[in-house]
Structure formats: C-alpha cells, structure tokens
Amino acid sequence: MVTADIRSQRDDALTDDNFELILHYDSLKVTLKSGMLVRAETPRFLLHGTNGSFVKYGMDPQEDELKDGRSPAEPGWGAEPEFKPEI
C-alpha cells in the first residue's frame, strides 16, 4: 500500500512543492518526503534499524571526486567531511 500527501504550500506556486509518500511493506515502512519551505538543513538519508541508525547529510563526495579526475584507488577516496549543523 502507498499513502501520499502532495500539495502546494506557497501561494504563488505553479507546481506542487511539498510531498510525503509512505510505502507500507509487511515488516517495513519507508517514508520519502521533500519540501520547498524548509529553512534548516535536514538529513538527505535517515535510516533506522534494530542495530542503530545511519544519518547522511549532503551529497556523496565520490561524484565530485570522479569529476575532478580522482581515482577510487587514492587514499581518502569517498571520505565524508565532518558535518557541522547550522544552529
């Protein structure tokens, strides 16, 4: 089953600018959401499980490294920068 909430939050929006989709599985719930009216940086990926959580802010650094001509064989390839949230 899929549950969806799709809407325009801005008065002058020409297209929908906010959504939340919930994908219901037998033993798993997946939530996808996005919005234009979000001031603070939020995680790009947020995964919770029985053994812990994974929180990922920003894009994967490997894409820019490839564009810069770097190789996965180089030391430090794909290392994530330390995240410092805005307060």
pLDDT per position as a tens digit, 54-73 = 888 888 888 889 999 999 99
Asked whether 86 and 41 are in contact (CB, 8 A), the reply is: yes
Q: What is the DSSP string of 38-50?
A: --S---SEEEEET
The pLDDT, as a whole number, for residue 61 is 87
pTM for the full model? 0.61
Q: What residue ranges do the domains of the chain occupy?
A: 1-38, 39-87
pLDDT per position as a tens digit, 15-48 = 999 999 999 999 999 999 999 888 888 888 899 9
